[in-house]
Structure formats: structure tokens, C-alpha cells
Amino acid sequence: MSKKRTGVFVCHCGTNIAATVDVAKVAKEMAGEDSVAFTQEYVYMCSEPGQESVVQAIKDNKLDSVVVTCCSPNLHEKTFRDNAKRAGINNFTCEIANIREQCSWVHKDKAKGTEKAIKISRSVVRRVSRNQPLESIAVNVTRRAMVIGGGIAGIQAALDIANAGVEVVLVEKQATIGGRMLQLSETFPTLDCSQCVLSPKMVEVKRHPNVKLLTYSEVQELAGSVGNFRVKILKKPTFVDPDKCKLCDECTVVCPVVVPNEYELNLSARRAIYIPYAQAIPASFTLDEEACLGLNPVVCGKCKDVCEADAINYDMRPETVTEDVGAIVVATGFDLYDQANMPEMGGGKVEDVLDGLQFERLCSASGATGGHILRPSDHKEPKNVVFIQCVGSRDPAKHCAYCSKICCMYTAKHAQLYKHHVPDGRAYVFYIDIRSGGKGYEEFVQRTMEDNDTLYLRGRVSRLYRHNGKVRVLGTDTLSGQNVEIDADMVVLALAMVPSKGTTEIAKVLKIGRDKDGFLAEAHPKLRPVESVTGGIYLAGAAQAPKDIPETVSQAGAAAAKVIALLSQATLSRPPLIAKVRPSHCTGCGMCVDACPFLAIRLENGKAIVNEALCEGCGSCSATCLRAAIDVKNVTQLQIFEMIEACLA
């Protein structure tokens, strides 16, 4: 192999690198490397003139490879590889040495920082000296998408993708789509009815010719990569044929099993056979297998007997469906923080202490009380209600460190709704700060305080417990410096939003990262907020972070746009950094075959063969090969040994 002519370009990044790393020294040291034919430093290598100078230097000095020592490869690897291509050399001979995030930003001592920057740069120069020119692999794209989660985020994403003429599979775990938004009564700041604005979209998604709706279904397995995913979905049996079900409700009348209704957040009960809401889509009853006496006509069978439409079928079985899609949107939503973690707030065991979603159901016309605010213990109208904000939020010592963002607004809304239902009632709100950024939001909160005569108390609640048939709330008003004691008829907790249980599960199945709080991690907090770290998987809604409905809808639209852009390409280029066998060294021992997580290696005539379509380039094979007969292209064992040497020189 003839010697490389590498150009090393050292970026100052203004003072971001230059303040703590002696960039001139880095450039000088690199000039002493065997393979380096040219070095240059510049204040902002990623600027237009910086990039131009790289292109020019490649041409003028007949360079065949490039090392840019700058920020993380996640930021500018693509920029400089594209530049290399523009200058007429192979883009895979360009590599980034990260001396900013991994060096200048984390070490203040300039001498030591420079020393480390030199080691990092030298290791990458040595690696590049053995880089091969490679061509991206073109792969066909499956022009179909999947949306996981049928709440407002998933519905909006599915509709936007479907309207662009792309077929969408919408997968929902529960018996109906609609998600959390379907449980809400009215929405801030306009107080329009949540179900009234949502249900037309639900109907549209159900009827859309490009949408395939899979409810009561869960994603179980994912294979493949961007452009070509294969998803296995478990379709749970509902035991009711939705096409035959006439919604006559006869079955629930005869069903002898009563269980708490999770769709009503356990404020009311349902039968083993039930429909979540009147607006449920698909509009059909569902038989809860766990609650049912046994799906056995000998034991019960009353619902089947009474069903004139003959829609009930006890012989339905779980079904596994496989769907091929090119892109996925994850919109699996949120849950509320578990009250059991908060004994000072009653731990979920004090009667008439509700969470925000339960209060929504009390206000909702389709809820357990038909839209009348009645307290659960005695079904009387509560005459004073205490709303407590930041329950579990903004509490890094014990609970969630983050702000749940929507609670200030929905608590203001709750207070207004309460006053509309019970005009002679008294509403108190305990708050830490009021965060009402958003169009019309601040005005809405002001209306709650002034027009709706709600008493806002700045302070935390320390304890609440039952006392003489009421809930005694002990708190402080930090503005007047006094302790406050209120005997409330009802208490509503604005619990922190946490990623839903399904979000935690789906992150494992899809292998997409989560942030420190468990929400799905975006690829970049500012510039790639709707993409996961994994190519082809996008994020929407509260599974990514706490957010309100308008933000969720915007994010869903953005994720849909990304999906449409991806799927509008005829082929995708896949990085060619995959495994390659040196047949002369391979003894056919088969260790790599066992090590490969993607079943991409097989033995043929006593030699390992890599299936290039399946190989993801993880390198597990090379780490097991005793004879260095298999390597990932451009991350070969020889290259790593040279890098190690450079790190310790």
C-alpha cells in the first residue's frame, strides 16, 4: 500500500478549542506524522471560507485523505465528508478527531489539554492512514410507515403521512384510539371540548384509505434498519367481531363481572365486556379476557347468548402480524407520576384526593358522573376544592427534577371548570411559580384568578389527611409567611407527567435511547428534536418530553414530514462500514457466526461469508476472531492497534 497523503485541519472553534488547547502545537505535531502531507489551522473550519480552504488544500496538495480535528463527529462528520467528495476524493477517507467535547471543553489545564488533543488527533491520523476508499451501499426503501401509539400525536402523524399518499400502519395498545386526549373534558386556553375536536380526527384515521389501524395490538419485535424495518405485532383477541357488533349494549347488561374501569381512572366500574367510551374507534365492544369468567359457555356465556348480531366469538386467539415499513414514528405518550411515591399527599389512599386526569373525567359529560363535579366519597357537590401544582415535579431531591410544563395551565383550567360547575364554590391553588408561556396562556391564568375568583397561594403543601369527613390540607403561603390549614371537600393533585409504561417498553423493543428521566431521547436537543438516535425512527408527543396538545400536534406534523421526506427517496445510502472477511486467514472456526447478533455471517466451503444486506457493522465478529480474519471496514484491528499506540505515545 502506498503511503497516504493526509491533510490535517485543526479548528480553533473561535475560542472554544483554542482557549484550552494550543492549536498551533497540535498542527505542528501532526505535520511530523509520516502520512501527513499538509496541515492547516483556521478559526472556524466549518464556516464557508473554512470549508472552501479544505477543498482547495485537497486539490492543491493532491491529498487523498483528511483529518479534521474539531468538534464531535455527530456535528460535522457529514460536512467534511461532503467536502472531501466535492474536492474529488473518497468521502470515507475523511475522519473527525473530537478535540472539543472530549477535550477542550472538559479540561482547563492548557498544557494537559493540548497533550490529550495531540493524542486524540494522532490516533485518528494513524487510523486514516489505513482507511480504504469505500462506496455507500444503495438500499431500496419500503414506502410504508408505522406509527406506534394512537393518541393525538399518533393520529396526527398517521393522518399527515397518509395524506401524502403513503400507507401507514397505526398500532394502538388499548381497545380504542384517542389516548389521553380522549379522557380530557375541555382544553386550555379556549375551553373547547376535547372529544369534540378529537373525534373527527379519530373517524378520519379509521376511514382513511391509506391507514391500516391495529388496535388492541402491541409491537413485539423490530428487525432491519432505516428504510427497511420488519415489525412483529401481537394482535390481542377482543372476542368481538367489530364488523358485526351493533353497539346495542345488551351484553354489558347481562355480564355478571364488575371490575374497575381503567378508562375512567377507576372512578367507576365496567363489566368484563365493555366499550371504553361512546366515541371509541373501532366502535365495538371488547371482552376483557382476564376479567371474564373463562370464555367458556359452560361457565357463563351470557353475553354470547344475548348477542343477536352473533358478534361474540370465544375462539379468537392472539395473532402475530408482520409489517414491513421504511420508517417509524413513536408516539406512546405519558402516564401520571405514581401517587404511591408520595405519602405526604396521601399516597393515593386518602378519599376525595384525585389526580388531574380523574378530575377531567368528573368534568367530562361522558364521564362517570355525567359531567357533574361530585366528590367520590358521598357523591355530594364539593364546596371548596384545593388544587395542588407541582406534585412530584420540580423536586430533584425526592421525585422528578423537571417541570411537567402543562400543570400550571390545566390547574387554571380545572379551577375555571370547577367554578363554572359550582359557582358558589371556593377554589384554592397551591403553586410554586406560574409558568404560562404560550399563546393566550397568561391571559387565561389571569382570568382564572380574577374573573373566576380563585385563590392562588404561593407555597407547597406539607401534608394532607382525612379529618371530620373532609380532607385537611396543611401548607404554607410563602408570600404572607403564614401556615395555611384548609378543610377541603376535595383535593386535586397536578401530578408530574412521566413517560408511559408503554414508552419504557417500546424503547427496549426498538433499541432507542431514553433520557435521564426516561423520556425518549431526541438525536439533538435543538436541531433534531423529532428524530431518535436510530435512523428512520422518529418521536412525537409526550413520550419525548412533557408537552401540551398544540406542541404535540406540531411535533407529530414535523415527524410526519421527516417520514415523508425519507420515504420519498427511491433508494437510501447505507454506510459501507460493514464486516469483510479475509479468506486467506479464515479457518472456518465459526466463532464469528455465533457472535453475530444479526445472523449476517454464514460458513460456506469452510470460510465465513458476510451477508452485506444484514450486516450492521457492530464488529462483534472481529472481536472474537482469533486470526484477525474478519474486520469492519475502516475500523480494522490493525487500525485500532495503531490508535492505541498513538494514545500512549
Partner 1 sequence: MSEQQNYEPRVVAFLCKWCSSAGSDLAGVSRIQYPPNATPITVPCTGAVSPMYILSAFNKGADGVLVSGCHIGDCHYIEGNFLARRKMQLIMQLLEFIGVEPNRFRMSWVSAAEGAKFAQVITDFVDDLKPLGPQEKLKKADRI
Interaction of residue 106 with partner 1, rule CB under 8 A? yes
Residue closer to partner 1 (CB basis): 411 or 636 = 636
d(CA 145, CA 151): 17
Residue closer to partner 1 (CB basis): 13 or 493 = 13
Nearest to 550 by CA among 268, 244, 81, 189: 189
Burial letters 202-236, b for 16+ CB under 10 A, else e: bebbbebebbbbbbbbbbeebebbbbbbebebbbb
Interaction of residue 125 with partner 1, rule CB under 8 A? no
Interaction of residue 516 with partner 1, rule CB under 8 A? yes
d(CA 411, CA 389): 7
Q: Which residue has cell 414530514?
A: 561
Kindly tell me which residue out of 105, 235, 351, 614 binds partner 1, with binding defined by CB under 8 A: 105
- Number of residues counted as binding partner 1 (CB under 8 A): 51
Interaction of residue 526 with partner 1, rule CB under 8 A? no
Contact status, residue 235 vs residue 217, Cβ threshold 8 Å: yes
Residue closer to partner 1 (CB basis): 118 or 168 = 118
183: which DSSP letter? G
Interaction of residue 622 with partner 1, rule CB under 8 A? yes
Least Å from the CB of residue 245 to partner 1: 40
* Rg value, the chain, Cα: 30
Reply yes or no: is the peptide bond before residue 423 cis, omega within 30 of 0. Answer: no
User: Which cell goes with 107?
Assistant: 479540561
Query: Segment 51-90, which members bind partner 1 (CB under 8 A)?
Result: 72-74
Interaction of residue 619 with partner 1, rule CB under 8 A? yes
Can you say whether residue 244 is alpha, beta or left, with left for phi > 0 and alpha for psi between -120 and 50 degrees? alpha
Least Å from the CB of residue 512 to partner 1: 9
Interaction of residue 620 with partner 1, rule CB under 8 A? yes
Kindly tell me which residue out of 533, 564, 593, 603 binds partner 1, with binding defined by CB under 8 A: 533
d(CA 388, CA 399): 16
Least Å from the CB of residue 101 to partner 1: 3
Residue closer to partner 1 (CB basis): 101 or 344 = 101
d(CA 154, CA 552): 9
3-class DSSP state for residue 86?
helix
Nearest to 402 by CA among 512, 533, 547: 547
Kindly tell me which residue out of 4, 76, 119, 302 binds partner 1, with binding defined by CB under 8 A: 119
Contact status, residue 497 vs residue 519, Cβ threshold 8 Å: no
Query: Segment 142-161, which members bind partner 1 (CB under 8 A)?
Result: none
Interaction of residue 241 with partner 1, rule CB under 8 A? no
Interaction of residue 101 with partner 1, rule CB under 8 A? yes
Residues 643, 618, 1: CA angle, nearest 5 degrees: 45
Least Å from the CB of residue 392 to partner 1: 20
Kindly tell me which residue out of 100, 180, 413, 426 binds partner 1, with binding defined by CB under 8 A: 100
Residues 384-403: x where in contact with partner 1 by CB under 8 A, - otherwise, as a string: --------------------
Residue closer to partner 1 (CB basis): 501 or 511 = 511
Point out which span in 105-113, 299-307, 347-355, 467-475 binds partner 1 (CB under 8 A): 105-113
Least Å from the CB of residue 95 to partner 1: 10
Kindly tell me which residue out of 163, 261, 534, 611 binds partner 1, with binding defined by CB under 8 A: 534
Amino acid found at 536: G
d(CA 403, CA 406): 9
Cα-based distances in Å from 407 to 266, 315, 412, 496: 21, 45, 8, 8
520: which DSSP letter? B
Query: Segment 561-600, which members bind partner 1 (CB under 8 A)?
Result: 577, 595, 597-598
d(CA 248, CA 554): 38
Interaction of residue 134 with partner 1, rule CB under 8 A? no
Query: Segment 248-307, which members bind partner 1 (CB under 8 A)?
Result: none
Q: Which residues make up the interface to partner 1 (CB under 8 A)?
A: 72-74, 98, 100-103, 105-109, 112-113, 115-116, 119-120, 123, 508, 511, 513-516, 521, 533-534, 577, 595, 597-598, 616-620, 622-624, 632, 635, 637, 640-641, 643-645, 647-648
